[in-house]
Structure 1
Amino acid sequence: MKKRVRLLLPVVLAIVLLLSACSGGEGGNSGSKASNDGGNKQESASPQETDKGKDPVKIRVAYYADETARETFNKIIENFMKEYDYIEVEDTGTDWTSHYTNLKVDLAAGQGPTVFLLDGPYIPQYASENAIVDLTDYLKEISMNDYYGFEEIRNPQGQYFAVPQGIQVNALYYNKDMFDAAQVEYPTSDWTTEDVYQAAQKLTNKEKKQYGIGLGNHFRYGWYTMIRQFGGDLLDKGRKISTFASDPKVKEAVEYMKKFWDEGLTPSFIEMEGELTLDPGSWFPRGYAAMFYDNFSRRLANDKEGINYDVALMPKGHNGGVNYSAFVANSWVLNDKASDKEKEAGWLFMKYFLGEEPQRLNGSLGEALTANKAIAKEILSGHTGNPEHVLAFLDNLEHAGDVGDSPVWEEWLGAVSTVFDEYFAGTITIDELLTKGDKAAQAVLDKQ
């Protein structure tokens, strides 16, 4: 019984931690419109000219954010109402857990907010339940090429159900002091996963409780990132068929990852139950791991702990793999049950949020990359301190991919993580992992 509890604990944490670092947000623009036809921008009349005589409408905007971020959201919403004075916005900002709890209750009662925030992997689920509006036609009003994130959140059918609000993308974090002490050269853009393995061997120092890398049984910090780096995937492109057993790159990637566990280059489950804790996201800022794959927001924890660190391009799989970087976009969506007037006003808010001034305001929080490419580059180019190579996050966006997003994503993640628990704990073989994982994944995917 104790072994079962030990194996399941990381699964619970994997799902909760997914998204614990995925808060943040960016802003909007109402001064001009752009057509997707060639991306040629066309000036439009100001809201004051076009909105005269409009009937008043009230909408509710719901999101999750900490206290500081809520103040910024409040400012953006106030500015929006000044530009569209016939629209009244009820501002509902809460913490992450309360946001999703309230959302499920309100939507079930038909009283959900007009516009609300979703973590990227949840978008397919809400779309499949007809809870949110297909924004594909709406987005013809803007030039999506001017923004990050749209291509990553487009579904396999080519539809868009969301507008990126704050973007998280992985980079390779490394502790410069640990590299210097071990006389290991810093990662470069040419690094492969084999370079990571060789560096981890040199950087691991058990006497100092130092591990070469913190992989963890986690989709973003560990196994899914690794599989995608090797050029494989656990799902087909349509996100309906498991490729757990049929894609040879899956076996290659997880066997590579298991070496880190077997050789003590990353913490074991037993070590996690002690001082390290089950939260792999805490290992790097607390000085236990010399390297870590993590997203943009991890900088905040590193800075708080005073870690001397930098970031680099995600390494390429050493056997013909790619520089895959896990991508999650916190995104605005539009309630399908709202009235036509509310949808129109809600869309105006979402479009406004994409513009320069709101993006600049929210980007100043440093919690996520802004969707607006020009503003994102402007903010990062003015960055000082660690990480020195902060622009690597923008480079990693060129190699970004989702994290297995599907209408049953959360359930699929839980089922697969349980099998990885057994494999990394050494209780099943690689062939048993592939067989059990494939069966578990497909059983969930069949529920779509």
Structure 2
Amino acid sequence: MKKTVIATASFALVAAVGLTGCSGSSGGGASSGPVTITYSNFISNGGNEKNLDKIVKAFEKDNPNITVKVTTSAYADYFTKLQTDLAAGTESDVFDVDAGSFANIQAAGSLAALDGVDAAKYRTSVLDSYKVDGKQYALPTSFSNVVLFYNKDLFDKAGVATPTADWTWADEKAAAEKLTDKKAGVWGDYQPISYNEYYKAMAQAGGSFLAKDGKKSDIDSDAGKAAADWIAGKSGTVMPTAADGAGTPDFDTNLFKAGKLAMWHTGIWMIGLVGDLPFNWDIAVEPGDTQKASATFSNAAVVSANSKNKAAAQKWAEYLSSSQEMVQVRLDAGWELPATSDDAALKPYLEKTPPANRQAVFDSLKHIAIAPQLGANGQQIQDAVNNALGEIAAGRAKTDTAIPALATQVDGLIK
């Protein structure tokens, strides 16, 4: 799921493409007779194809007049193929999008508005991420988010109170300073110095990466400077530097697993990879500054505006995103988390340990930071942010000059 936001730039071109032709659906109209709908996805690629097939078969059993024809592509290829299909009007009746691609696809008029959705079945904040002008255009099929991992034994050894959902940046900083023991090779904190962390930190500081009109950034602001100081300012004080290896593949993972890292900002996808360790560890909702804001990434199912079988297509999208069968298959397989509001269905997940406080995963959804829609130059913008933060962290630039310069650079790239 950490790949979720990278598709934004691929779809800037889609907004300029008219709807030419009809969907690749077979069968015509919303008749009561047998209907075949097509579904293109990336969510099952790489090992969950059989799990998706279980959901399809359960749906077809409950809806004997609807057949679902599935096409699966690797994430790396999926959006290029989708862009081609949208331009030609040959897209599937139902297809996958993610949080990074949704806005541009919707703005192009490619998606059907969904009527009669039972919003009570979904986590509100995730569902609302796919709402435009009060209309629902996509249904979230899964999500992941970033939380604060921590080594409980290190906290106990240092006599420092463990993180709570009420913690602020100030609380985290104070704890990190007490927990850092450079002589012993123990660091108090680790947060990637990256664009993804920066836009989230801006939200936590009460700001927004983009101005309300979306035509320029709001980086050169108090929130923008506070976010830069918060992330880059940790380097070399409570967090290892690039010279120490920070930013290299698996460095933070290995540091945490070695018992040498007290706090770690990372995604819930790491829970399974970390697993049982020779020390006690847990997770908490990430601290905020003026407010909470958790980075949440999600995938969703949409219905093509060109579909000739919109009613059947929406029925499949709803089943894929909210049915009990889907929830059970995902939880049994460890296949990302469903955005269901059914706490009873999630009980098996919440009862698994470690970590003990899995509830933090869902508490983090109460206040989320949605990835900005950056347009055609999205990757260049992210690279510019990464470079600027890296210069500040290395001590080669000062926030007061680097952030205004970054804002000018980003504004020139926004289209």
If the TM-score is normalised by the length of the shorter chain, which range does it land in? 0.7 to 0.9
Structure 1 residues 159 and 381: alpha-carbon distance in aligned structure 2, compared to 1, 3 A threshold:
same
Give the TM-score, by structure 2 length. Answer: 0.82
Shift of the alpha carbon at 1:405?
A: 3.6
The 2-side partners of 1:127 and 1:65 are apart by 23
Q: Deviations over 1:10-63 (max 9, x none)?
A: xxxxxx9543999xxxxxxxxxxxxxxxxxxxxxxxxxxxx9851432413322
Equivalence for 1:57: 36
Q: How does 1:58-207 map to 2 (within 5 A)?
A: 58-65=37-44, 67-130=46-109, 132-135=110-113, 138=114, 140-148=115-123, 149-155=126-132, 157-207=133-183
AA in 1 matched with 2:142? G
Partner Cα separation in structure 2 for residue 339 and residue 90 of structure 1: 14
- Counterparts in 2 of 1:229 and 1:356: CA distance versus 1, 3 Å: same
SS of residue matched to 1:326: strand
Match for residue 11 of structure 2? none
Q: Is the 8 A contact 1:380 1:391 kept in 2?
A: no
Deviation digits for residues 271-324 of structure 1 (CA, Å, limit 9, x no counterpart): 237xx724566356544532122333221111176763211122131xxx1121
Q: Distance in 1 between matches of 2:98 and 2:32?
A: 37
1:311 lines up with 2:296 in the alignment? no
Deviation at 1:101, TM superposition (A): 4.4
Superposed CA offset, 1:85-134 (max 9, x none): 3333222334432433443444455433332222212211222334x314
For residue 391 of structure 1, report the CA deviation from its aligned partner: 0.8
Q: Percent identity over the alignment?
A: 22
> Helix, strand or coil for the counterpart of 1:333?
strand
TM-aligned CA distance change 1:394 to 1:83, over 3 Å: same
Q: How does 1:42-441 map to 2 (within 5 A)?
A: 53-65=32-44, 67-130=46-109, 132-135=110-113, 138=114, 140-148=115-123, 149-155=126-132, 157-220=133-196, 222-245=197-220, 247-263=221-237, 265-272=238-245, 277-278=248-249, 282=253, 285-287=256-258, 288-303=260-275, 308-317=280-289, 321-336=290-305, 338-341=306-309, 343-353=310-320, 354-375=322-343, 378-379=346-347, 382-408=350-376, 409-441=378-410
Conserved 8 A contact 1:170-1:325: yes
CA distance in 1, matches of 2:56, 2:278: 34
Quote the Cα distance in structure 2 between the aligned partners of 1:259 and 1:73: 44
CA contact under 8 A between 2:105 and 2:111: conserved in structure 1? no
SS across alignment from 1:141: coil
User: Which residue in 1 is equivalent to 2:21?
Assistant: none
Q: Distance in 1 between matches of 2:269 and 2:5?
A: 10
CA–CA distance in structure 2, aligned partners of residues 21 and 310 of structure 1: 29
How far 1:377 sits from its partner (Å)? 6.0
5+ long unaligned stretches in structure 1 = 1-15, 23-50
1:20, 1:126 → 2: CA distance?
14
Separation in 2, partners of 1:81, 1:361: 16
1:430 maps to amino acid: T
When structure 1 is superposed on structure 2, of 280-289 and 399-408 the one drifting more is: 280-289
Query: What's 2:14 paired with?
Result: none
Note the C-alpha offset of 1:350.
0.3
* CA 1:303–1:434: 2 relative to 1, 3 Å: same
Moved more, 86-95 or 345-354: 86-95
Q: 1:285 to 1:410 in 2, by over 3 A?
A: same
Q: Relative to structure 2, which stretch is displaced further, 91-100 or 143-152?
A: 91-100
Letter in 1 for 2:308: D
Contact 2:146 2:265 in 1 (8 A): yes
Instruction: Give me the whole-angstrom Cα distance separating, in 2, the residues matched to 1:349 and 1:281.
Output: 40
Question: How far is the alpha carbon of 1:194 from its aligned partner?
Answer: 1.1
Letter in 2 for 1:198: A
CA contact (8 A) 2:350 2:359 kept: no
Cα root mean square deviation, aligned: 3.0
**1:19 counterpart residue number:** 4
Aligned length: 388
TM-score by length of 1: 0.77
Q: How far off its partner does 1:426 sit? A: 2.7
- Measure the CA separation in 2 of the matches of 1:251 and 1:118: 32
Q: Spell out the pairing of 1:31-42 with structure 2 (5 A cutoff).
A: none
Distance 1:282 1:114 in 2: 40
Counterpart Cα distance in 1 of 2:32 and 2:88? 33
What secondary structure is seen at the aligned counterpart in 2 of 1:331? Answer: strand
Q: CA, structure 1 residues 230+238, in 2 after alignment: closer, same or farther (shift >3 Å)?
A: same
Classify 1:253/1:436 alpha carbon distance in 2 versus 1 (closer, same or farther; 3 Å).
same
Distance 1:122 1:285, change over 3 A: farther
In structure 1, how many angstroms separate the alpha carbons of the residues matched to 2:158 and 2:50?
44
CA contact (8 A) 2:99 2:371 kept: no
Code of the residue aligned with 1:295 in structure 2: it is G
- Shift in Å at residue 219 of structure 1? 3.4
* 1:373 counterpart SS class: coil
Query: 1:205 deviation in Å?
Result: 3.0
Gaps of 5+ in 2: 8-29
Change (3 A) 1:414 1:113: farther
Provide the C-alpha distance between the structure 2 equivalents of 1:309 and 1:21, rounded to a whole number of angstroms. Answer: 30
